[in-house]
């Protein structure tokens, strides 16, 4: 990896170089009822919209790589046959400007399932291969537990990663493309004092994490506590609204729907992201529902994230971004659920 | 309306004879059917419409599918509905009034209907009884929810009816569609919302326009009303404010009485 340092006022030049592409980054979405700022990822058309010092975004990047609704193909229906048209819905390279380590790690995890398996998902891959990713160091929030999940730093899956040193950015260059862009900026190799400052800034960040999840032996504990009463208690709170999965950067479950147009000459196959918390997630042909109870559905979401995926890939599917807990109206948070399953803490439900 | 012969993958498709009727309602759902000009011609071409007061002057009593808007608030409406039921193979209730009683059923909350009538109509003699959904009078085959109904959903239902495909509605709540539209949760903005317990299918029409859900589509399957009540309290909204919304369109009947008794405790 190569390192460079550049003055903060150079950032707009980097933006301008990249602005021939679509740019997605954190933007302001107003304030909440307590006056706290809200942020979300969105397309950016002006450098001034880019809020690199954002706390956390409401939704993950999924909107851009794994849209909630996506047309997989359309059909022209003829007398005794049909013509199928496939479009991967990726038209232009997109720059993702200002992703935190958790969200880059989330993409790396999705890659394992959606690109790395026997049947890669071409719709995801087409978008994923057209990304230029600029990471940026974050300020840990009270709900962030990425440190517990091992996703507080990122080693691959980005082109450039920026760390704020105060009056300058420390840039980790991870791709030839990024190196080419950086060569048009006024930047230089970091001095030894800046190496030290970089390490110091990262250490300061590490010390700011306040939220933790004990993952020791978690796969086994989840198996042991399959019948635990706490699942029922969380189930009674759960609204089965799927919000946790919809804001999650790594939930990828989906359903397929086929519809014929009104004119009966065309048809569309649409993919909808789904959530294992929704009541008919495990309903099969004939009408039987394998998980009619909300506590069962909630439990299986935890089993997929913290047990099944770990057994398959030796890492959790959760990146500890805390979005699910922040968005859950019933205040169901990963740290509290896991602590309760481990038999720790107060009775939360 | 006898456009060219319809075929689906070469197989001729029979146009069903269709009639539209309205009882006590604003007729807004029927106007919704005539909206969406981009697909209106295809929509009309798919059906053989024999009775549609909002759109044509000819009338016939020979129909297979009856789309019925409105709630039943008079004895003669109930009789007319029974006649429609007897003639139609498929009876489709359209809109919140037909499905749940709709806004009209708000008057049922008053113990003294004679007083209500006097307040609204003064000394004019007019027959009006408790507002009821169609299903309280006759069996209903299909319900299209919403106040008003969503044209896109009607188009999907009609296409599937014509092709003989199964018709499914979302069983999950509005939150799913609200999140799919990348909205900020209205509770975070200090507004109450019934989205977490209301049946989806409207594409989170109101929340996407920053208006909290009023539950016009009725309850999602197994809604967690008890938990939403607690959430309302945590966000500073009273049982009364929640009841205002739950009672507005009539879809939450059983949950309203549960909440009322819980509220008294």
pLDDT the model gives residue B117: 87
B73 in any annotated domain: yes
Describe the strand order of the beta sheet including B142-144 as a list of residue ranges: B48-52, B17-22, B65-69, B90-94, B142-144
Report H helices in A137-191: 146-149, 176-182
Whether residue B229 sits in one domain with residue B140: no
Q: Does B170 map to a domain?
A: no
Task: Give how far the C-alpha of residue B2 lies from the chain's centroid of Cα atoms, to the nearest Å.
Answer: 29
Average pLDDT across chain A, whole number: 95
- B256 shares a domain with B150: no
Using an 8 Å Cβ cutoff, are A219 and A311 in contact? yes
Q: What is the domain extent for residue B258?
A: 175-264
- The pLDDT score that the predictor gives to residue B124 is 87
pLDDT of residue B128: 87
Give the residue from B224, B230, B232, B242 with the most A CB atoms within 10 Å of its CB, the best one to mutate.
B224
In degrees and rounded to multiples of 5, residue B123 shows phi and psi of -90, 0
- pLDDT tens, A183-238? 999 999 999 999 999 999 999 999 999 999 999 999 999 999 999 999 999 999 99
For residue B33, the distance in angstroms to the closest alpha carbon of chain A comes to 13
User: Exposed/middle/buried for B96, CB within 10 Å: 0-12, 13-18, 19+?
Assistant: buried
B228 interaction partners in chain A (CB closer than 8 Å): 239, 329
Q: How many CB pairs under 8 A join A and B?
A: 122
Give the integer Cα–Cα distance in Å for B242 and B226: 11
**Is the same domain home to B251 and B145?**
no
Residue B69 pLDDT > 70, yes or no?
Answer: yes
- Residue of B191, B197, B247 whose CA lies nearest to B226: B197
Q: Are residues B234 and B209 in the same domain?
A: yes
Q: How far is CA A314 from the centre of its chain?
A: 19
One domain for residues B181 and B154? no
CA A205 to chain B, closest CA, distance in angstroms equals: 28
Backbone torsions φ then ψ of B61, nearest 5 degrees: -100, 10
Domain CATH number, residue B122: 3.40.50.700
Domain shared by B130 and B15, yes or no: yes
- For residue B41, the chain A residue with the least C-alpha distance is A263
ipTM (interface pTM): 0.94
B162, exposed or middle or buried, with CB in 10 Å at 0-12, 13-18, 19+? Answer: buried
Confidence of residue A349 (pLDDT cuts 50, 70, 90): very low
Mean pLDDT, residues B131-144: 97
Q: Which of B70, B51, B67, B222 is nearest to B157 (CA)?
A: B67
- Is B83 part of a structural domain of the chain? yes
Tell me the three state secondary structure of residue A228: coil
Task: Give the count of beta carbons closer than 10 Å to the beta carbon of residue A164.
Answer: 15
Which band of pLDDT confidence, cut at 50, 70 and 90, is reported for residue A345? low
The residue out of B112, B131, B163 marking a domain boundary is B163
Question: Is the same domain home to B58 and B147?
Answer: yes
Judgement on whether residues B107 and B216 belong to the same structural domain of the protein: no
Give me the pLDDT at residue B264, please: 85
List all residues 6 or more positions away from A228 whose beta carbon is below 8 Å from its beta carbon: A341
* B238 and B183 share one domain: yes
- First-to-final CA distance of chain B: 60
B56 with B157, same domain: the answer is yes
Asked, for residue B123, whether it belongs to a domain, the answer is yes
Q: In terms of domains, do B129 and B210 share one?
A: no
What are the pLDDT digits (tens) for B204-251? 999 999 999 999 999 999 999 999 999 999 999 999 999 999 999 999
Rg (CA), chain B: 20
The answer to whether residue B2 sits within a structural domain is: no
Q: Is the CB of residue A78 less than 8 Å away from at least one CB of chain B?
A: yes
Residue B127 forms part of a structural domain: yes
Q: What is the mean pLDDT of residues A6-26?
A: 96
Number of domains observed in the structure of chain B? 2
The residues that bridge with B91 in the sheet, in sequence order, are B66
Whether residues B128 and B54 share a domain: the answer is: yes
In a domain, B224, yes or no: yes
Phi and psi at A15, nearest 5°, equal: -60, -45
Q: How far is CA A239 from CA A215, A235, A293, B259, in A?
A: 26, 8, 11, 17
How high is the mean pLDDT of chain B? 93
Residue A129 backbone zone (phi > 0: left; psi -120 to 50: alpha; other: beta) = alpha
Question: Starting from the edge strand earliest in sequence, which strands make up the sheet with A266-273, in order?
Answer: A82-86, A69-77, A266-273, A254-260
Query: What mean pLDDT do residues B161-180 have?
Result: 94
pLDDT digits (tens, 9 = 90+) for A20-68: 999 999 999 999 999 999 999 999 999 999 999 999 999 999 999 999 9
B43-63 pLDDT tens trace: 989 999 998 877 777 788 899
Is the separation of the CB atoms in A69 and A58 below 8 Å? no
């Amino acid at each position: 990896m190569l390192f460079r340092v550049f003055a903060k006022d150079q950032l707009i030049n980097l933006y301008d170089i990249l602005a021939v592409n679509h740019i997605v980054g954190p933007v302001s979405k107003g304030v909440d009822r307590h006056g706290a700022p809200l942020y979300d990822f969105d397309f950016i058309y002006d450098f001034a919209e880019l809020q690199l010092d954002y706390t956390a975004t409401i939704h993950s990047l999924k909107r851009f790589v794994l849209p909630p609704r996506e047309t997989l193909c359309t059909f022209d229906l003829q007398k005794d046959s049909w013509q199928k048209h496939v479009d991967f819905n990726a038209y232009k390279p997109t720059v993702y400007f200002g992703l935190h380590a958790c969200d880059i790690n989330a993409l790396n995890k999705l890659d394992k399932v959606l690109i790395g398996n026997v049947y890669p998902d071409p719709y995801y891959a087409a978008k994923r291969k057209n990304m230029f990713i600029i990471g940026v160091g974050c300020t840990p929030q009270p709900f962030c537990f990425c440190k517990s999940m091992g996703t507080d730093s990122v080693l691959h899956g980005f082109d450039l990663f920026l760390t704020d040193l105060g009056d300058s950015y420390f840039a980790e260059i991870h791709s030839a493309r990024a190196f080419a862009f950086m060569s048009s900026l006024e930047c230089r190799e970091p001095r030894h004092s800046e190496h030290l400052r970089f390490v110091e800034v990262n250490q300061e960040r590490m010390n700011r994490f306040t939220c933790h999840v004990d993952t020791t032996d978690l796969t086994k504990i989840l198996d042991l506590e399959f019948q635990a009463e706490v699942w029922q208690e969380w189930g009674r709170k759960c609204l089965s609204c799927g919000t946790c999965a919809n804001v999650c950067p790594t939930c990828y479950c989906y359903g397929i729907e086929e519809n014929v147009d009104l004119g009966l000459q065309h048809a569309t196959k649409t993919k909808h992201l789904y959530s294992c918390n929704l009541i008919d997630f495990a309903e099969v042909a004939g009408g039987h529902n394998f998980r009619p109870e909300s506590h069962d559905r909630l439990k299986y979401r935890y089993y997929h994230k913290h047990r099944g995926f770990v057994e398959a890939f030796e890492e959790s599917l959760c990146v500890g971004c805390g979005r699910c807990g922040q968005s859950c109206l019933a205040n169901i948070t990963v740290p509290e659920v896991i602590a309760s399953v481990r038999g720790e803490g107060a009775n939360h439900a | 309306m006898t456009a060219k012969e319809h075929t689906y993958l070469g197989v001729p498709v029979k146009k069903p004879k269709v009639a539209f009727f309205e009882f006590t309602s604003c007729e807004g759902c029927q106007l919704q059917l005539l909206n969406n000009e981009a697909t209106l011609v295809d929509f009309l071409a798919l059906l053989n419409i024999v009775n549609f007061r909002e759109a044509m002057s000819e009338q016939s009593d020979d129909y297979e599918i009856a789309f019925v808007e409105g709630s039943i608030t008079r004895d003669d409406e109930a009789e007319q509905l029974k006649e429609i039921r007897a003639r139609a193979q498929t009876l489709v209730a359209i809109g919140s009034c037909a499905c749940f009683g709709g806004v009209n059923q708000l008057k049922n909350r008053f113990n003294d209907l004679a007083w209500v009538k006097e307040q609204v109509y003064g000394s004019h003699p007019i027959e009006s009884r408790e507002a009821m959904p169609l299903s309280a009078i006759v069996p209903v085959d299909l319900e299209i929810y919403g106040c008003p109904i969503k044209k896109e959903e009607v188009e999907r239902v009609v296409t599937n009816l014509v092709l003989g495909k199964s018709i499914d509605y979302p069983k999950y709540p509005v939150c799913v569609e609200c999140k799919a539209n990348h909205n900020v949760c209205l509770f975070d903005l200090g507004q109450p919302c019934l989205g977490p317990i209301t049946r989806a299918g409207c594409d989170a029409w109101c929340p996407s326009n920053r208006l909290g859900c009023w539950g016009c589509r009725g309850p999602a399957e197994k809604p967690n009303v008890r938990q939403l009540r607690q959430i309302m309290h945590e966000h500073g909204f009273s049982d009364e404010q929640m009841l205002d919304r739950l009672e507005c369109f009539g879809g939450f009947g059983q949950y309203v009485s549960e909440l009322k008794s819980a509220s008294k405790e």
